[in-house]
């Protein structure tokens, strides 16, 4: 089982729709969580960190469920420019010698006019 799993998609939704992705993680020592977006043949860019209380940034809402070990990303009123691959990132055991950073394989989102 992968340590961080995402539905690869693609999710193909109309402009203006609401879309949600989940990402599950298996290591209970996971300490911090992020969503990045990556456009085709470009580097990943931070979209938002994910906090236990949940956080919102404009049309984007991220939530963390430690009990079920998943994080989610909700995009409201989707725009054509939201088309990208969304990467879930987990930082495990940051204070230990066995710490590591794990990226999911990404979820492809395509917004159609």
Which residues contribute to the site for other proteins (CB under 8 A)?
A: 31-32, 34, 42-46, 49, 87, 91, 94-95, 99-106
Q: How far apart are CA 36 and CA 108, in angstroms?
A: 12
Closest separation in Å from C-beta 10 to other proteins: 12
Closest separation in Å from C-beta 31 to other proteins: 4
Residues whose CB falls within 8 Å of the CB of residue 61, separated by 6 or more in sequence, listed in order: 54, 55, 73, 74, 76
Cβ proximity to other proteins: between 5 and 13 the closer is 5
Rg of the Cα atoms in the chain: 14
Cβ proximity to other proteins: between 55 and 72 the closer is 55
């Amino acid at each position: 089982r992968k340590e961080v799993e995402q539905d690869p998609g693609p999710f193909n939704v109309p402009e203006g729709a609401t879309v949600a992705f989940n990402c599950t993680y298996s290591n209970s020592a996971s300490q911090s969580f992020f969503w990045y977006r990556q456009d085709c043949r470009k580097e990943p860019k931070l979209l938002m960190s994910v906090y236990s209380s949940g956080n919102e940034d404009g049309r984007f809402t991220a939530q963390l469920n430690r009990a079920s070990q998943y994080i989610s990303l909700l995009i409201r009123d989707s725009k054509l420019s939201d088309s990208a691959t969304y990467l879930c990132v987990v930082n495990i055991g940051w204070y230990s010698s066995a710490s590591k950073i794990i990226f999911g394989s990404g979820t492809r989102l395509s917004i159609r006019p």
